[in-house]
Amino acid sequence: MKTIWLIGCGNIGFRHLQALLAMDEPARILVIEPAKALHDRISGEVTAAGAGHQVTLATELPQAGPVDLAVVATAAPPRAAIVRALAMRARPPAVILEKVLAQTDAELQSMADDLAAAGSKTHVNCPRRYFPGYQALRRDLAQAGPLSVEVTGSQFGLGSNAVHFLDLIEFLNASPLVTLDTARLTPGGKPSKRQGFQEIYGTLTAALDNGATLRVTCADAPQVQLDLAVVTADGRRYAISEATSRMQAPDGHAMDFGTRFVSQTPEIYADALAGRCALTPLADSLRQHRLYLAALRGHFGLAPDAPVPVS
């Protein structure tokens, strides 16, 4: 039976827990959540799932393993320190990290060094790579590129979630980002509901090495909304609603898209345990994050490698 540590079980961590409980293969799952106020909710979810897993709760990281897979789903500020402790104490062969990975380049490098020293095969949870719809577009439009991506909506957390779209456009094009432009963002930010972080509005643009472009626009409006479009080099437009799991093709035909929320992707962990995880490799995500953090430091007028207030 494999041993999995879930470090952090707040909002996104709880969705990881739901997916872990849905795995077919029984596992030993250690949930590490320092906030005891969340433990009743966690225990209730485990009981309701009724799965064959052995689940235990803790408030601190154990002093030693063994562990086969570690999922680090904390907020960004403590993540580098947690990864260092994890790497030194347990040397997990497989690791999945949540994004935003970190707030500084120094923290990014620290995690990269610690995980490399531990021999951990590490991926970052940008799960759109597991959506059947995006997999099909990548396959079917391989000769129609470069494929540009347009994201429009409101209150979807641009500061936190732009990383998903930076990764998505790289996945669709198999080409790296080369530039990010914050000139069309609304100056500064607004305090987030999460203390210490900022919400960002306006339009973020990016370009890839192959000429593809990304435009992410988030309005400061009351409702949460998110729509995407993938546009081929000759102007064909594939309009996607992830919320309804529908896509409209250029000919007007609508079809199921295959949206997969975190709680619906237990295969991610099985793949990681088997050494075939299809999430974003850490090296690729580090490159994306370095570009992103540099752009946001400029946007907020921060000193070199000052912490960027997103998570």
User: Both 98 and 209 in a single domain?
Assistant: no
Whether the per-residue pLDDT at 154 is higher than 80: the answer is: yes
Lowest mean pLDDT among 14-18, 192-196, 219-223: 192-196
Confidence of residue 41 (pLDDT cuts 50, 70, 90): very high
Distance of CA 219 to the CA centre of its chain: 21
In a domain, 55, yes or no: yes
pLDDT of residue 196: 86
Average pLDDT, the chain: 96
In a domain, 298, yes or no: no
In a domain, 293, yes or no: no
User: Both 175 and 229 in a single domain?
Assistant: yes
User: Both 184 and 200 in a single domain?
Assistant: yes
Q: What percentage of residues in the chain have a pLDDT greater than 90?
A: 94
* HEC per residue, the chain: CEEEEEECCCHHHHHHHHHHHCCCCCEEEEEECCCHHHHHHHHHHHHHHCCCCEEEEECCCCCCCCCCEEEECCCCCCHHHHHHHHHHHHCCCEEEECCCCCCCHHHHHHHHHHHHHHCCEEEECCHHHHCHHHHHHHHHCCCCCCCEEEEEEECCCHHHHHHHHHHHHHHHHCCCEEEEECCCECCCCEECCCCCCEECCEEEEEEECCCCEEEEEEECCCCCEEEEEEECCCCCEEEEECCCCEEECCCCCEEECCCCCHHHCCHHHHHHHCCCCCCEEHHHHHHHHHHHHHHHHHHHCCCCCCCCCCC
Evaluated on CA atoms 72, 74, 77, 78, the torsion sign reads: negative
In a domain, 179, yes or no: yes
Q: What percentage of residues in the chain have a pLDDT greater than 70?
A: 100
Token pair recorded at residue 215: 């435009």
In a domain, 204, yes or no: yes
In a domain, 195, yes or no: yes
User: Both 146 and 207 in a single domain?
Assistant: yes
Q: Are 137 and 242 in contact (CB under 8 A)?
A: no
Q: Tell me: cis bond preceding 176? Omega within 30 of 0 counts.
A: no
| CATH number (domain holding residue 162) | 3.30.360.10
How far is the first Cα of the chain from the last one, in angstroms, to the nearest whole number? 33
In a 10 Å sphere around its CB, with 0-12 CB exposed, 13-18 middle and 19+ buried, how is residue 158 labelled?
Answer: buried
Whether the per-residue pLDDT at 51 is higher than 80: the answer is: no
Looking at per-residue pLDDT, the higher value among 296 and 51 belongs to 296
Confidence of residue 195 (pLDDT cuts 50, 70, 90): confident
Q: Are 268 and 115 in contact (CB under 8 A)?
A: no
pLDDT of residue 259: 94
Torsion of the alpha carbons at 84, 159, 283 and 18, rounded to the nearest 10: 70
Which residues span the domain enclosing 32?
Answer: 2-125+265-278
Q: Are 76 and 311 in contact (CB under 8 A)?
A: yes
Domain boundary among the residues 227, 259, 291 is at 259
Report pLDDT digits (tens) over 70-90.
Answer: 999 999 999 999 999 999 999
User: Both 42 and 138 in a single domain?
Assistant: no
User: Both 95 and 167 in a single domain?
Assistant: no
User: Both 58 and 72 in a single domain?
Assistant: yes
Confidence of residue 193 (pLDDT cuts 50, 70, 90): confident
CA distance 186 to 289: 21
Report pLDDT digits (tens) over 261-270.
Answer: 898 999 999 9
Q: Are 197 and 310 in contact (CB under 8 A)?
A: yes
pLDDT of residue 194: 85
CA distance 178 to 166: 11
pLDDT of residue 270: 97
pLDDT of residue 192: 86
Q: Are 39 and 14 in contact (CB under 8 A)?
A: no
In a domain, 306, yes or no: no
Report pLDDT digits (tens) over 243-280.
Answer: 999 999 999 999 999 999 898 999 999 999 999 999 99
Residue 30 pairs with which residues in a beta bridge?
A: 5, 56
The model's pTM:
0.96
Domain count, the chain: 2
Whether the per-residue pLDDT at 163 is higher than 90: the answer is: yes
